Amino acid sequence: MTRTAIVTGAARGIGAATAIRLAADGCAVAVLDLDEAACADTVQAITDAGGQALAVGADVSDAAAVAAAVDRIAAELGAPTILVNNAGIIRDNLLFKMTEDDWDLVLSVHLRGAFLMSRAVQKHQVDASWGRIVNLSSTSALGNRGQANYSAAKAGMQGLTKTLAIELGRYGVTANAIAPGFIVTDMTRATAERMGVGFDEFVEHMAKEVPVGRAGAPDDIAAAAAFFCSEEASFVSGQVLYVAGGPTA
């Protein structure tokens, strides 16, 4: 049986790697991002490997756009029963410099987006008596200088995950969160630019702080997501898995 999966923020980075991995595992994958055209490379990678994918443009913080996107996916790929809420942005700054817009935008994309997507997809999961929700948190949920908005959003993702697990478990739906540590992506490249540091130097510095001695890659997160989305993970729900190369708390 082919499952239909939605991965948000899947044009690049962790989202792209996760979409490609789920397709390799046999899912039909909706590659969702703000700009539909930006999803082309991920879709191409999936189809070149013999998989099935659909590019979908939608603002996950817009309820009408989310509803329309999920309806389109259900019509074109099949009812979605796997959801990976990965879409996110950063607007880093120290508290006294952070604007209300910086706060609202980050919370809206990460947390409101995950809520809206989960609400839209859960009806398909409940109808199927089977579902998987994976929310992307972060080690920043434990606190990180210059990221009051991002840290709050990522901590919120953990609370949302545990509540979804409680509410949806009786319908055969699991919900889990992944909290990545330092992963080499465009987002961490932007962090290095904000700090005025060369990216290679930044990666080398961060890797020294990781017990396993290297920075993480998007495929490391995709592997964890693949487990949570698997049949074998049916008794794992409401958990937060730190994929960070070593202890974080």
Q: Which tokens belong to 71?
A: 């309806």
150 noted as active-site residue: yes
Residue for token digits 């434990």? 142
List beta partners, residue 111. Answer: none
Among candidate residues 150, 182, 202, 228, the one labeled active-site is: 150
* CA–CA distance, 207 with 189 (Å, rounded to integer): 14
Q: HSE, CB side, 13 Å, CA atoms: give it for residue 239.
A: 15
List beta partners, residue 180. Answer: 243
Query: Residue 9: CB partners within 8 Å, gap ≥ 6?
Result: 15, 32, 33, 60, 86, 87, 88
* CA–CA distance, 126 with 118 (Å, rounded to integer): 12
Which residues are known catalytic residues? Answer: 150
